[in-house]
């Protein structure tokens, strides 16, 4: 690795930590009033594979890390099935604070509102601008609607490659682990295997995009 590469790695790490610190004090939408912690992205800022989910869960909100709890355990399993870990990618969400609907003493995750997505867009933009990913894997339709196209339908377009997105030359979507966990029996096993296969596609595409064309002197 060259000196320039090492300098770029250090620079990216410094930049992302600066963004994280600013996001920690964000009050641009009402989710700031109900959050416990801002859940910023995590992983390796110098890797070119980025996974993007919808938003933090209750466990994420408590610990300040994305994909903790049952959905995080499942994500870890499907990554390991592809011989990678969180250190081989950057993992983040469309919004950085938990969106929840509260009834009495109970709260349940809900899809983020358009205003919340808009208010949080600058943090995701900063992450992706620094990382400059070659492959983005959207976990669920909410992320796909933001990063691929606004009318994305997960049942029809999951597993398809999109090459005209703003942040990466290649983008694809799969099911969100939280959604898969709500399925039962054969449907659960089928969807879990699909997520494993889609992650494999993303890894293969990343390797293809990083290949240097071979040339000869003669």
Residue 114 has pLDDT above 50, yes or no: yes
pLDDT of residue 217: 41
Residue with tokens 């049952």: 70
Measured CA to CA, the distance from residue 2 to residue 101 in angstroms comes to: 50
Q: What is the pLDDT of residue 216?
A: 41
The model's pLDDT over 2-26, given as tens digits with 9 standing for 90+, comes to 556 566 778 999 999 999 999 999 9
Count of C-beta atoms within a 10 Å radius of residue 212? 5
Got the DSSP string for 131-150? H--SEEEEESHHHHHHHT-T
pLDDT of the residue at 205? 98
Q: Which of 10-14, 82-86, 96-100 has the lowest mean pLDDT?
A: 10-14
Helix (H, G, I), strand (E, B) or coil at 164: coil
For residue 53, give both structure tokens: 């989910």
214 pLDDT band, cuts 50/70/90, is very low
Question: CA-CA distance, 79 to 127, in Å (whole number)?
Answer: 21
Please report the DSSP string for 23-59 in residue order. Answer: HTT--SSGGGGT-SS----EE-TT-SEEEEES---HH
Q: Pick the residue with more confidence: 218 or 82?
A: 82
Q: Which of 79, 68, 77, 4 is nearest to 37 (CA)?
A: 68
Contact 44, 84 (CB under 8 A): no
Band the pLDDT of 113: cuts 50, 70, 90: very high
Whether the CB-CB separation of 94 and 120 falls below 8 Å is answered with yes
């Amino acid at each position: 690795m060259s000196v320039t590469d090492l300098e770029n790695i250090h620079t990216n790490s410094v930049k992302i930590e600066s963004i994280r610190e600013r996001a920690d004090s964000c009050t641009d939408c009402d989710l700031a009033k109900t959050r416990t912690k801002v859940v910023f992205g995590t992983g390796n800022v110098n890797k070119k594979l980025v996974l993007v989910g919808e938003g933090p869960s209750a466990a994420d909100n408590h610990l300040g890390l994305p994909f903790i709890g049952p959905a995080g355990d499942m994500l870890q399993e499907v990554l390991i099935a592809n011989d990678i870990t969180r250190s081989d990618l950057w993992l983040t969400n469309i919004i950085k604070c938990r969106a929840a609907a509260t009834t009495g003493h109970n709260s349940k995750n809900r899809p983020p509102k358009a205003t919340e997505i808009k208010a949080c867009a600058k943090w995701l933009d900063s992450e992706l601008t620094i990382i400059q990913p070659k492959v983005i894997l959207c976990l669920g339709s909410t992320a796909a609607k933001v990063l691929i196209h606004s009318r994305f339908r997960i049942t029809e377009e999951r597993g398809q490659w999109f090459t005209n997105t703003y942040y990466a030359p290649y983008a694809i979507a799969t099911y969100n682990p939280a959604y898969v966990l709500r399925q039962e029996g054969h449907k659960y096993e089928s969807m879990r295997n699909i997520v494993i296969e889609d992650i494999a596609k993303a890894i293969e595409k990343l390797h293809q995009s990083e290949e240097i064309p071979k040339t000869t002197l003669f």
